[in-house]
Structure formats: C-alpha cells, structure tokens
Amino acid sequence: MPTAFIWGASGGIGRALVERLVADGWTVGAASRHPDDLAGLTEHRFEADVTDAFAVSQAVLAAAQELPSVELWVYAAGDIMATPVAEMVSPAWERILGANLTGAYLTAQQSLPLLAERAHLFLLGAYSERLQVPGLSAYAAAKAGLDAFAATLAKEQRKHRVTVVRPGAVNTPLWEKVPLRLPRTAMAPAELAQRILDAYHAGVTGTLDL
C-alpha cells in the first residue's frame, strides 16, 4: 500500500486524514507537537513544531529511516486568532504566519527528499479573499501567502502535483479560537479527508475550493 505523510496530524482535519488513510490500509507518517495523541492510530509518529527548522529536519530524518517514499503529503497545521491590527503584538502575528505559512515552506522544503517521484502535495488553505474581515489580518495574509507559495512551488517541482485545498467551514477545534459561530453547513473533518483522498485519486491540482 502507498505511504502518506501528514503534518498537523493531531488537529481536527489532520487526525481525520490519518484515520481515513490508516483505515484504507495506507502506511501513514504523522507529525505533530503532540505525537502521543496519535498512539494506536499509526506507529510512525514524529514530533515537530512546524516553525522550528531544526525540529522539522529531525522529524524528516527520522521519517526517512522508517518510511518508504511518500506518495501523498499533506500540510494540515494551522492556527488562527481574531485580533485587530491596532492591538496585535508581534509574537502573535508571527505565530499565525508561522503555523499557516512559514511552516508550509519549512516542511515542504525539508520533505522533498522523502517524496516519491510523482508525489502529490496538499496544503490546507482557505478562501483568503473572504477572510479580509476585521481581526483576521494575520490569518488572511498567511492564507493568501500560502496560495502564492503553493503556486510557485508547483512550477518549481514539476514532477510533483501540488494542490491548495480551500474548504469552507470544517467542524474542528480551530473554531474555538475565534468569536465566530460555526456555520450549520460546516463539513465534518472525515468528509473533508475523503474529499482530499478523492482529489488525490483524481489527480486534481491547483486550487481546490470545497
């Protein structure tokens, strides 16, 4: 069976992906700040803060020793806060840009040697143009940056497929961090995991708005 690697694997979407893939018989590498949360799901667990270049490189080195080449790679880490620019402190801005954008760069770059020749990379983005609302400047800027990063990466890594998945609302703990009500139409994380897997099998690249 093929091999997948999920960053942000303890989050709502990341965990649903690990569960779906393991259930389908994939070998799954899972990176998280809390890898013990995934005990019993997959034996291939790695600890990394995605904003820590050294930790990311150590996780990739460990993964290279125990995993075959990765066909499906997903960046599902992310963070959000609602703070007006006037009140934002620099570490908070850096935390949001780090989790949503810099982490994507660090993990993608470090993971390149892990990837199979025709690997497919999925990055969890968002409808950044709709996020330009008071309080969400850092999150909206990071997700807009992720679109640009992924589009450029796709042109550089022509053997690999690159897709930015931009879901609407998904029912995960992310929503507990912002004073917003989860829409009734929110998708279950398991449904999104299935849609990502469907896109992998269909070879969908570019932007996948769901």
Ligand X SMILES: NC(=O)c1ccc[n+]([C@@H]2O[C@H](COP(=O)([O-])OP(=O)(O)OC[C@H]3O[C@@H](n4cnc5c(N)ncnc54)[C@H](OP(=O)(O)O)[C@@H]3O)[C@@H](O)[C@H]2O)c1
- Which residues in this chain contact ligand X in the complex, by CB under 6 A? 8, 10-14, 33-34, 49-51, 76-79, 98-100, 103, 124, 126, 167, 169-170, 172-174
When the beta carbons of 36 and 118 are compared against ligand X, the nearer one is: 36
Minimum gap (Å) between residue 134 Cβ and ligand X = 18
Starting at the edge strand that comes first in sequence, how are the strands of the sheet with 161-166 ordered? 44-47, 27-32, 3-7, 70-75, 115-124, 161-166, 206-209
Minimum gap (Å) between residue 159 Cβ and ligand X = 25
> How would you class 124 by CB atoms within 10 Å of its CB: exposed for 0-12, middle for 13-18, buried for 19 or more?
buried
Beta carbons of 147 and 163 less than 8 angstroms apart = no
Residue 202 makes CB contacts below 8 A (sequence gap 6+) with none
Minimum gap (Å) between residue 147 Cβ and ligand X = 12
Minimum gap (Å) between residue 45 Cβ and ligand X = 13
When the beta carbons of 68 and 183 are compared against ligand X, the nearer one is: 183
Minimum gap (Å) between residue 158 Cβ and ligand X = 25
When the beta carbons of 71 and 79 are compared against ligand X, the nearer one is: 79
Amino acid identity of residue 16, one-letter, is A
Buried b (16+ CB within 10 A) or exposed e, 42-71: bebbbebbbbebebbeebbebbeeebeebb
Minimum gap (Å) between residue 12 Cβ and ligand X = 3
When the beta carbons of 14 and 29 are compared against ligand X, the nearer one is: 14
When the beta carbons of 8 and 135 are compared against ligand X, the nearer one is: 8
When the beta carbons of 116 and 182 are compared against ligand X, the nearer one is: 182
E strand segments, the chain: 3-7, 27-32, 44-47, 70-75, 115-124, 161-166, 206-209
Q: Tell me the chain's radius of gyration from C-alpha atoms.
A: 16
